[in-house]
Amino acid sequence: MTSSPALEVAHLKRSFHRPDGRLVTPVDDVSFTLAQDETLGLVGESGCGKSTLARALMQLPPPTSGSVRISGEELSQQSARARREARRRLQMVFQDPISSLNPRRRIADVVAEPLEIWGAGGAERNRQRIVDALNEVGFDADTVWSRRPHEMSGGQCQRVAIARALMLEPTVLVLDEPVSALDVSVQAQILNLLLDIKSRRSFSMIFISHDLAVIRNICDRVAVMYLGRIVEIGRTEDVYRNPQHPYTRALLGSVLAPGQKLPDEEVLSGDLPSLIDPPSGCRFRTRCTRASERCAIEAPVLDQAAPDHRVACHHPLGFPQAELRQSM
């Protein structure tokens, strides 16, 4: 019998009103599934809605519409008490490790906070569990037990944040740019730590990052976001080796290999449109060299391009150029 996915997201939307009254929808009709023990990468330009999507999954705040299911349980259809219980299985590690920790609390109390909130007692009552958690993320528990966050480096604070997120033994861990604020050498340490912990435990990860090399190294699948929507999703190697969406190809083309010369022309031209007034039809059409009249009228949906590889494009890169010119 096939087990249900760790996380199922269907037609998720998150909107809010600006102070001037205008409506902004940074996450618009997003759907995907996350399998048990899978790592899904989420990439895209700044402002495309990645962090808003992560917070909507966490119900911080809840999505405007759509469905989030954890291990088959629909969050929006449960009572407040049942929804709170289900959310224990969904935890998050934030981008800025220092600001995500309470500066007035000891490291032991920070890690014990999830247990304390759930009525299981604080650090002293759960001393062995806290020691085990600190050891798991590479600390000597006796050394860091009474320290405050300001006495720790950024990489050490991120280790503390990971230990805290794992205290309730989640089935899904959402990581919002967990290494972008760290030095390169420390980034590698944190990534190796996450992979080691995941190999010992059983949980799935959603990993948000701008670093395409990081995504390629640690993610089983990757989803590409543009202006609030997923435009391509598939197995990481399939997407990297054979991108089907022009935006995905532009993102991959913007990463230079050692010794590679700068491109003669811009890889991705034009400015990112505003979410206040996004383009009609395909949102990428204003920056796409393959755009046709159909792109301005009809919004593309995620269609199967290959096994476990979907793309939202009327003229994907596998589309013959001769046929494309006839449709324009």
| pTM for the full predicted model | 0.90
Tokens of 274: 């505003």
Round the average pLDDT of the chain to a whole number and report it: 88
Q: What confidence category does residue 328 fall into, taking pLDDT thresholds of 50, 70 and 90?
A: very low
Q: Cα(235)–Cα(222) distance, rounded to whole angstroms?
A: 6
> Could you count the other beta carbons within 10 Å of the beta carbon of residue 135?
12
Q: Please report, in angstroms and rounded to a whole number, the separation of the first and last CA atoms in the chain.
A: 48
Q: What confidence category does residue 327 fall into, taking pLDDT thresholds of 50, 70 and 90?
A: very low
DSSP class of residue 286?
A: G
- Tell which residue, 64, 160, 59, 60, has the closest CA to residue 105: 160
- Tell which residue, 54, 39, 44, has the closest CA to residue 219: 39
The residue count for the chain: 328
Is 90 exceeded by the pLDDT of residue 111? yes
**Is the model more confident about 253 or about 244?**
244
Q: What confidence category does residue 181 fall into, taking pLDDT thresholds of 50, 70 and 90?
A: confident
DSSP class of residue 274?
A: P
DSSP symbols for 115-166:
HHHTTS--TTTTHHHHHHHHHHTT--HHHHTT--GGGS-HHHHHHHHHHHHT
- Tell which residue, 56, 3, 67, has the closest CA to residue 32: 67
State the pLDDT at residue 322.
40
State the pLDDT at residue 82.
81
Q: Cα(95)–Cα(117) distance, rounded to whole angstroms?
A: 23
State the pLDDT at residue 2.
54
- Tell which residue, 54, 77, 66, has the closest CA to residue 29: 66
Task: Work out the average pLDDT over 288-308.
Answer: 91
State the pLDDT at residue 112.
95
Q: Cα(89)–Cα(324) distance, rounded to whole angstroms?
A: 46
Which residues lie below 8 Å from residue 69, measured CB to CB, with a gap of 6+? 4, 5, 7, 8, 9, 10, 75
Q: Cα(20)–Cα(14) distance, rounded to whole angstroms?
A: 18
Q: Which amino acid is at 247?
A: Y
For residue range 130-147, list pLDDT tens digits in order.
Answer: 999 999 999 999 999 999
Contact (Cβ atoms closer than 8 angstroms) between residue 53 and residue 206? no
Which residues lie below 8 Å from residue 16, measured CB to CB, with a gap of 6+? 23, 24
Is 70 exceeded by the pLDDT of residue 320? no
Is 70 exceeded by the pLDDT of residue 168? yes
Q: What confidence category does residue 318 fall into, taking pLDDT thresholds of 50, 70 and 90?
A: confident
